[in-house]
Amino acid sequence: MSKTSTSKTSTGNFFEDFRVGQEIRHATPRTLTEADAALNIGLYGSRFAINSSDVFARAVGLPRAPLDDLMVFHVAIGKTVPDISLNAVANLGYAEFRWGVPVYPGDTLSAHSKVLGLRENSNRASGVVWVRSTGTNQRGEMVIDYVRWVMVHKRDPAAAVAAAVVPKTAPSVAPSDLVVPAGLSLAGYDDVAAGSTYRWEDYEAGERIDHVSGMTLEDSDHMFSTRLYQNTARVHFDAFAGKDTRFGRRLVYGGHVISLMRALSFNGLANGFRVAAINAGSHVAPTFGGDTIYAWSEVLETAPLPGRADIGALRMRSIAAKDFPCSSWPGKQADGKYHPAIVLDLDYWLLMPRR
């Protein structure tokens, strides 16, 4: 005799399932390997020497090449998706985003989150969820910590929800709060191997850099990245369901565009060896397979680091545009709206060697 039972599958959390103060421990710890590092290069073509060469990394005091900072970002966000953004309409932004201790092949990453705020949208069909998520290694050390906000569908548009709580986030991460890896010393930093002679002193606030090249992303690229980083958000991987959305197709995962921008920025910022923090970020418009991404950056601020004569920080604003080369510096227009080609606006801190 057959038995019936309640479903054992999860449909993820909808907007009305979240509560301010709710704490969530995310499933599936992930041990990262050298294969992950190679696949990440295959996806984005990043050329930063410190992540590419054990010899280079050891020359600056690290035990070996750390994994790409944005790979750590992808893995940590991927852990949170089944609980936070499985039913997302879109990922909206980031704040108070810091990287902690470096991650090396063999490290195992886990993640947990706390719900900071909720606000239902006026159409009552969705709402915005703010969370603080933290990724840790097998020793419980923080590897990444950030606030992000996501627009999430409601299961039932008529469902009552609590009064809105919108958290305040810091406008930027203070330079004194940037984490410099233990043991790092740039006395042995090799400009030739890194690919640039331009160091921290060579950049000044207001300077703009066109990163020149473009990179076309294919559906196969972002589909591979969502699987590699175990990102199960339906808007990225389900083409059948995507036909019924307002876009009529799958959206490219926003982190994929951030990694493309970072890889393109090598031409002009090759010595920006570590992304240390994100102050603010917006996915301005959707990106789709077949789009070609270009990027430009502006130096917002140069900051010395307390007690460090060998390392400085650059506060950068990088803009990514689709199907639009960036020699004309597309950004916000006179009416305050973004140029229609803009897909990403990111404000972040880079660590860079000093002379």
pLDDT, residue 239, reads 83
pLDDT, residue 138, reads 98
Burial class (CB in 10 A: 0-12, 13-18, 19+), 206: exposed
| 232 Cβ neighbours under 8 A, 6+ residues apart | 81, 82, 86, 226
Determine the topology of domain 15-169 in CATH.
Answer: Thiol Ester Dehydrase; Chain A (3.10.129)
Question: 172-197 burial string, b = 16+ CB within 10 Å, else e?
Answer: bbebeebbbbeebebeebeeeebebe
Task: Name residue, tokens 């300077």.
Answer: 207
Cα radius of gyration rounded to whole Å, the chain: 20
pLDDT, residue 5, reads 60
Domain boundaries of the chain, sorted by first residue: 15-169, 197-217+252-355
Beta bridge partners of 150: 91, 129
pLDDT, residue 8, reads 87
Phi and psi angles of residue 58, each rounded to the nearest 5 degrees, phi first: -65, -30
Question: 224-249 burial string, b = 16+ CB within 10 Å, else e?
Answer: ebbebbbbbbbbbbeeeebeeeeeee
Instruction: Give the three-state DSSP class for 2.
Output: coil
Length of the chain: 355
- Residue pair 130/166 in contact (Cβ under 8 Å)? The answer is yes
Which regions of the chain are under pLDDT 70? 1-6
CA distance 331 to 340: 9
pLDDT, residue 3, reads 65
CATH class label, 197-217+252-355: alpha beta
pLDDT, residue 90, reads 82
CA distance 104 to 137: 10
pTM for this entry:
0.92
**Long-range contact set of residues 338-343: C-beta below 8 Å, sequence gap at least 24:** 338/284, 338/285, 340/285, 342/284, 342/285, 343/257, 343/283, 343/284, 343/285, 343/286, 343/287, 343/291, 343/293
Task: Name residue, tokens 């970072």.
Answer: 262
Question: 329-355 burial string, b = 16+ CB within 10 Å, else e?
Answer: ebbeeeeeebbebbbbbbbbbbbbbee
Q: How big is the CA angle at 230 (ends 255 and 31), to the nearest 5 degrees?
A: 105
CA distance 230 to 28: 9
Domain 15-169 shares a fold with domain 197-217+252-355: yes
